[in-house]
Each structure stands twice: as C-alpha cells, then as structure tokens.
Structure 1
C-alpha cells in the first residue's frame, strides 16, 4: 500500500529542496533532546527564546486566549489550560474566594495527570506568580527531579524592558475572547509543512480551532506553524502510543472539540477510537479496523462477494503456515497493520516461510500469509460523502510498490477511460460498500492478472500517498488530501473543475497525467536540467533532500529522491515522456541538478 510517509511539499510547478539535510530532520541542527523534556507555565517570549537555547524539548502551558505562536519553534509544543483560580482577579481576591489552599483548579490537576505525566518532564517551571503556584502543584503530583540551577536561573532571569513595535497577535483575538469557530482535533503523522502547497495551507484554521497532536521535531515537527498557527499543539515521538492517546483524550475532555481529523495511515485507527469513545461523527472504530487490519478487511470483502480475494490466513503461530496450499507456489508474508510496503516477505517454499517466521514476533495478531498474485497493480482513489462515491480516479503503477530498491523507479499513469477503468471503478465501489465507509477518501489497490481477472489486494481509509495527490490535483483540479481534512472536519468539499471535453491538455481534466519517481542510491547520474522540464511535459518537480536511510538504502515505497509530475495530451505521449525523463535522469552530468 502506497502510504503518505513522504509526499509532495512543493509549492510551485518546479520546486527543489536544499541539498543539505533539513533542520527538522537533523538532530544536530537543534539543541532539543526528546528524552529531556521541560514544561514552562505562563512563559513570555524572552523565556521561550532562552528555553530554545537549552538542551530540552520544551512544552508551554498558557491560559486560554493567550498568544502562543510566538513562543514555539520546530521542536516545542504547547497547551492551553486554565491553571489558576485568578481569572481576572488578583491573588488577594483569589484568597478571598477561598482558594488559598487550592492553588490550581481541578482541570489543571487532571491535565497534569493525563497529559504531563505520560510526557515525563524533568521539571515544570512557572514564570509568573500564578504559573509558579501551578508549577508547584504539577511538580508535587509528578515527583519531578528538577533541572540544573544554572538553567533555572537563566529561565527565570527578568527580561530587559523593551517596547514592542506592535503587540503579538493572539490566537483567539486581541482581548483573549474565544472565537465562535468550531473545534477539531487533528491527529497528524506528517510534517506540518506537508499541508502547505501553492501558497495556501490545507488546514482550515480560518474556519476551525485546530488542536494538533503531531510528531516531534525529529520526525517532521511543526515547521511553518507561524504562517498558519493553530490553537494548541502536543508533540509526541511516533512510537509513544500512550502519549498520543493521553493527549487526544485530554484535548477532547477539556476543549469544545466536535470533530477528529486524520489523513495518515498511522492516525486512522486512533482517530476512530477517539470518535467512538466520545460519540463524535466520522469513521468509527469498527469501520476503521476493517480498513487497517488486512485480515479483517479480506474477510469482509470475501464474505460480501465484492471482489475476488487471494487465499489468506492469519499467521499467529508457525503452524498457521500449513493453512495455505503450498502446491500453488509463491506466498506473501506481511504485517496485517503495515504500510508503505514495509514488513513484507516473498517466500516460495514452506521451508523459506519457516525461516522467515523464525525471525518474526508472531504475538499480538500482527502477521498474515496470502497467495502471491501475478499481474499489474492498479489503484482506485475515491471521495465518499454520505455513503455515495462522489469522485473516483484509476491509475496503474509503473512498477510493483513492494519492489522499491536503491536506484530504482516508481510511478503511476492515470487510466481515464475504457472498459478496464470501468471494471476497476465498479470493484472499488463494491468493496467500499462492503466495508461501510460513509465519509472520507480511500485508496484501493488490486491486481489485473494475465487472465484478465481483477483480484483485490487491499484498501485504506485515507488519501493516497506519495505523488498521487499532486497527479490528481493537476488532472482534476482539487487536492484529495485537503478533501479528507474537510470531510473529517464536517466542512464543504469542492472536487474541482474539469475540462470534460479534454480540449486543453494543460487544464484540469484535459489530456492525462502521471508521475515517475526515482529512489536514492545507485551509481547513475541524477537530475534533469531546469530548462528541459517544460519540454518533457513536467509540470511539477518534487525534490526531497532527506530521502534514504543514510546508509545507501531505501526506507519504504514512497522514499523518493526526485519525483516528476507529467501532463500529456494522450496516454501514448505520456508513456513516451516518462521514458524520456528516465533516460535523461540517468545521464551522468555533475551539473544537471
């Protein structure tokens, strides 16, 4: 399954990233240490800048309505929570109201227990009288060990008096008054910049108060947050499942959030869990499980008769290898919950399978085994609203997604008409009906065998990954990732404009479109001169400086070094242009990029 682990971040028809490793992927570029966490309550900009120079990953806690976007950087997070009884009264009035023995409201104590405890901070530091009282409560509840005295002194040192040219813009209005916008929790495993394209941002922050739970700085971070600020940010390491869940639950309990948004495969199930637990609209946990667990998925598709499904079995013990017929040849062992063609093994004999299984942890219902299917792999990407398919696009991969390798290629070409496209669209519709999706986007993959049979592979309840979204946008005039965000948020969705007559190949709907991508590695030349791109029909070049695993290998099926989106008046021209791009890209020339 092609997954959005690495997708287009280009903002123009031709964009190239810097050759050096981007700061948000380079631990040496930041003093932050994910295992050294510090919480600051009621900080100002000067204290925030000091914190960013210290060897900690910093999390800010501010009052609701307080401006916070000027505090955070690419490796920090922030929460808005009422941590004092003061509100608009002074401390003396707080004592008069009987809170002298209860320095922080219960909401804050719950926040400490549910959010800060899984965070395991070294210390909680208050930077105002009210913040200090709240920090004392937090440190007492958490039993924190503290930070060196010199770091504490630097953080609490009074800032020099300056007169700002203008007051910082608050997230909820200059007076701190909450807006009337509805709230949405966005569970995100992409870099924040992933959602910025062509000078606009996909997150509808003008229509929603967005509460973001996202990966920490070393896995994408929030670079670009200043240009499109959100209401709240919690940052987690990708594997900190308990922290993700705790941050989401606390947000839903303590903020007026009515929607949960997820566009990444790794976020789909947690988002559905939150919707089901809190009674919110959108894909529920039972439906999401059918889209994530490949065994349950295939059981449902086979039971419904929606599509031909290869023989398969759960693989919970080595004995389960005997559940499939080895006389029919090659089998595939893969994770039931995998993505981007990772954790996948091809085996030709039972002995080979036993050797592979000996190195796997089969506990926890994580693996399955199924018949290998020979044939070209196609994908069908759809938009569903109110249970009806409002848009579908069919494409055929240039190579097998599971065949990614150093120096290799990948890509897709749209299949816009003809009997095969019709059959694939109908199969996809039947599968989606069987799995019960009501609103969202989907990415289905299937095999077209030499015998002209369509065989189901798998389907995801999220947008396609890699460079497929830009291809769809260039062809049909809308971004399918943005469509998913707006569907999850309960907002209106535009599916673009199309030149249905196909008279203008460069216009949305005209001609056809596809892409070719190159994996890092290999000893071939790399790159195409800028002046040649237009001649080759390239409408977008996406260069990724952080591709590869740093050791000459490829991490997953969308770990591309260079990708080229191509438009053409017809299928024959598109394929010829793809061949020309591949030949030119391989030409050795030190000055080609």
Structure 2
C-alpha cells in the first residue's frame, strides 16, 4: 500500500527532484497532498500528487490550516507530515503532535530552532558555546562590558536576517530603538572573533553517516555591504578532522535524531572551535550540489527518508574534487541576457532573474541573483573558478 503524506512547501514542487529530474516522491510509493505557496502552484505537477492547495507564502496560519485539512482528506488520512523549510519546522512538529503523527515532535525540534534553548541544551553537556542570554538591556550591557563586542540576533530566524554586531552602548541604543517591541524574540551573545565554518551531515540515530565541511570566506551578512559571498569546502586534513570530531560531539547531544544537519562553528586564531548554531535541515547556497558531488547523497532525499521513516542513504563515493559556491548580488541592475555557464566543472547554477528584470536589494543572505557551485582539485582552483563564474554572471547585468 502506498504511503499518504502531506508536504508543506515554500520552495516549489520541482525542488523535490534528483539531479536527473526524477521525483523524490515516486508515484508507486506515495500519495502526496501538497500545500504550497500560491506563486509556486504552476510547479505542482506530478503523478504522485493527490491534491494541491495554494496559500499566500507569508500566511503561516493558512498554511497550517490547509495542511490540517488535506491531511484528513482522501480515502486514508496522511501518515506523515513533511517539511524542509526551517521556519516551519516547529509549527509542523506541533501539528504532528496534534494529529498523533510520527516524526520530530516539538520538544525535539526546539533545541534546533530556538537559539537560547539550543545553547542551554548544549552547554549543559559540555559544548563550548558563546556566553549568551535572552535579550534584555541589562544582559546586553553586562556582556558588552565583559567582552567589548556582542551579537544581538533573533532566537528563531534564518538567512542571517536581523543580525546586529554591537561595539558600544550607543550602538546598543540604536539597535533597541530600531527593534523596539521585537526584542523579546532576540538573544544577545558574546562576539566570537573567528572564521565561520560549517559541517553538513547525514545522521541516523545520532550517529553521523557522512559529512562535509566548508569555510565561509565572507560573512553571511555580506549581502548588506558587498556584491558576493564565497564558501569553499575544507580539504581532508587536521582541520577537517577536528571539525568532524566537534560535530560528532554536538550531534551526540541529540539522542535518537535522524535526518540532516547544518552546523555552524567559529574557528579562532588560536584554533579553538566554538559552537555557533545548528539546524535540522540541509544547508543553503550550493551545499546540496557540493555534498552530492562528493558523496553521492542528495540531502533533500535524505531529509525525506528521515521524515517518512525510511533508512537514510549511504555514501556511494568520496570524490577527490572539492567544491565551492558563490552567491552573486546585483542590486538595482537589470538582466540583459540569460546566464549560461558552459563549463564541465560547474556543478549547479541557480538563477533567480530573467532577462529584462531588475534585482531589488537583498534583505537576506539567500536573496542573490544567482548561486553557482563549482568543483576543483584544491581550494585555490575552486577560488579561481568562483571568480570566473562570478564575472560571467555579472556580465549578464547592467545599469538600466
């Protein structure tokens, strides 16, 4: 018998396909009830689709109401609720609990979503985390006096939105005036002076099946000040081994967890690794394409397997090639011709503009004109290729 599942989607149904364009919800296994954004309705085509409902992408309550409705429709109620989008993971977990469905439950999701709960959970188990507190003026001032610089950021946001680095009381007052009554949804923490790295894992029963590591060459807030962001995979070696070992310790703090994780850490000048945050999802940018090229595992397929109760996929290879990706920002520029990068070492090109369109200033890290993932023999070759494709993408845009 086929499994009836409800999929809550903001990405478009074509996102749930493999690199050959085949659906990750084969019709002989699944009856899919899809709740998607109105603007993504044209993408909702496939043999496994039993029903499709579109709602406004910003109306979370409508999304959940629609999911509740379609889950109870059809000959049999849905057996699973699936979601990839990080912002929806906690409300979907609460809906699972309401409907008595398997999968991650609210208490399992909160330590992945709420950065205060997350750091409380990990610090109790001996993980080095930045000193932190739920936001209050007094807590921020105490940390500012102790460290000279702090970070004020949302407890449960994504995409590097609303991150504020504060170096003095006047900066803090400015942040408080701007955020006003939203501050109860923020935390304040010690600023870690280190380089941002990430470890992306496929996990089964709190054990890492496979993982890759990357180095964010630019700040994830680069979209505010510059025209690109680079991330390059960490080559096997001492740093890679230390990142993997730290990641294993953190993953072990989530007993029974199976799925995919995106784990961000800071590596300081003296080599200390400090926890940043962790999410129960695949990383953004070009991480999906890079890990697939390296290991043969599709992270979206792995997330789906975990949520429907299937065994997690195993790596089929360990490529000697490294990967890296760039996000190209072109605010205010018009696209004059389509991007077409004809290089065998381009693993993936995600283009979010069409000829004749203009790009608005990005409001979050992922709001780029294009995201391009490349491969190379080493970090130097990857960097050269990122620069090349970045220039090629920009050549397709000009001032109006």
- State the TM-score, normalized to the length of structure 1: 0.61
The residue aligned with 2:330 is 520
1:226 to 45, 64, 80: 45
Distance in 2 (CA, whole Å) between partners of 1:522 and 1:375 is 32
Taking the aligned partners of 2:223 and 2:183, their CA distance within structure 1 comes to 28
Structure 1 distance, partners of 2:224, 2:98, is: 41
Q: CA RMSD in A?
A: 2.9
The aligned runs of 1:513-592 (5 Å cut-off) are: 513-521=323-331, 530=340, 533-534=343-344, 537-545=345-353, 552-582=360-390
Aligned position for 2:91: 270
- C-alpha change, 1:524 and 1:250, in structure 2 (3 Å) is closer
Change (3 A) 1:373 1:590: closer
Correspondence for 1:312:
132
Whether the 8 Å contact between 2:328 and 2:369 is mirrored in structure 1 is yes
The 5-angstrom pairing of residues 141-290 of structure 1 reads: 180-196=1-17, 197-217=19-39, 221-254=40-73, 255-290=76-111
Q: Compared with structure 1, are the counterparts of its residues 539 and 384 closer, same or farther at alpha carbon in structure 2 (3 Å cutoff)?
A: closer
Whole-Å separation in 2 of the counterparts to 1:222 and 1:590: 29
Q: Is the 8 A contact 1:516 1:565 kept in 2?
A: yes
Q: For the structure 1 residues 550 and 361, does the alpha-carbon distance in structure 2 shift closer, same or farther, using more than 3 Å as the test?
A: farther
Q: Name the CA distance, whole Å, in 2 between partners of 1:531 and 1:314.
A: 46
Query: Residue 249 of structure 1: CA displacement?
Result: 2.8
1:79 maps to: none
Q: CA deviation at 1:517?
A: 2.4
The 1:526/1:558 distance shift into structure 2, 3 A limit, reads farther
- Partner Cα separation in structure 1 for residue 377 and residue 291 of structure 2: 16
User: How far apart in 2 are the matches of 1:265 and 1:446?
Assistant: 18
The aligned residue for residue 409 of structure 1 is 228
Shift of 1:491: 2.6
Work out whether residues 37 and 54 of structure 2, in 8 Å CA contact, stay in contact via their aligned partners in 1: yes
CA–CA separation in structure 1 for the residues paired with 2:314 and 2:180: 44
Deviation at 1:416, TM superposition (A): 3.6
| Mapping 1:31-430, distance limit 5 Å | 180-196=1-17, 197-217=19-39, 221-254=40-73, 255-306=76-127, 308-315=128-135, 317-362=136-181, 365-405=184-224, 408-430=227-249
CA distance in 2, matches of 1:589, 1:244: 37
Q: Per residue, is there more strand in 1 or in 2? A: 2
Q: For residues 483-529 of structure 1, what are the alpha-carbon distances to aligned partners after superposition, in whole Å with 9 as ceiling and x for unaligned?
A: 1012101234433421x4xxxxxxxx132222222112277999998
State how many pairs are aligned: 394
- More deviation, 366-375/223-232: 223-232
Tell me if structure 2 keeps the 8 A contact 1:405–1:519: no
Q: Does the aligned pair in 2 maintain the 1:443–1:463 contact within 8 Å?
A: yes
* Structure 2 CA distance for aligned equivalents of residues 437 and 272 of structure 1: 16
Which moved further from structure 2: 283-292 or 571-580? 571-580
Give the alignment partner of residue 299 of structure 2, picking from 462, 476, 480.
480
Cα offsets for 1:2-28 (capped at 9, x unmatched): xxxxxxxxxxxxxxxxxxxxxxxxxxx
SS at match of 1:400: coil
Cα drift, residue 397 of structure 1: 1.3
Give per-residue Cα distances to partners, 1:354-377, cap 9 Å, x unaligned.
221122244684111111112211
User: Structure 1: which 5+ residue stretches go unaligned?
Assistant: 1-179, 501-508
In structure 2, C-alpha distance between the alignment counterparts of 1:435 and 1:337, rounded to whole Å? 18
Q: Does 1:435 align with 2:263?
A: no
C-alpha contact 2:259 2:306 (8 A) present in aligned 1: yes
Deviation at 1:441, TM superposition (A): 0.6
What's the counterpart of residue 286 of structure 2?
467
Distance (Å, rounded) in 2 between the aligned partners of 1:260 and 1:532: 39
Q: TM-score, normalised by structure 2?
A: 0.89
How big is the shift at 1:480?
A: 0.4
Change (3 A) 1:350 1:435: farther
Contact kept? 1:384, 1:439, Cα under 8 Å: yes
Instruction: Give unpaired runs (5+ residues) of structure 2.
Output: none
